[in-house]
Structure 1
Amino acid sequence: MGDTKETPETVLRGIEAARLAGLKVKVNAVIRAGYNEHSVEK
């Protein structure tokens, strides 16, 4: 999950809580060479 100590589950719970509170949620991603580019379809 990148540069955070939080687990993916914690992040997803936070996103869901924000959504349920009526907030619009936008999730961004940063692709880093040698780190996570294998996760992106080419």
Structure 2
Amino acid sequence: MLEVVVPIDYPWIKVEEILFISALSDNPTVCKGRLGVTQS
């Protein structure tokens, strides 16, 4: 299940871009937390 919530800070970022940024982040957990992306 993939739940994506886009906060006001990133209203223009697409889901794919959020996941892409999370994948490239050195700390993907922190990046996902900041972007409001939760994957379980």
TM-score by length of 1: 0.41
Structure with the bigger RCO (C-alpha within 8 Å, sep 6+) is 2
Higher strand share: 2
The structure with the largest alpha-carbon Rg is 1
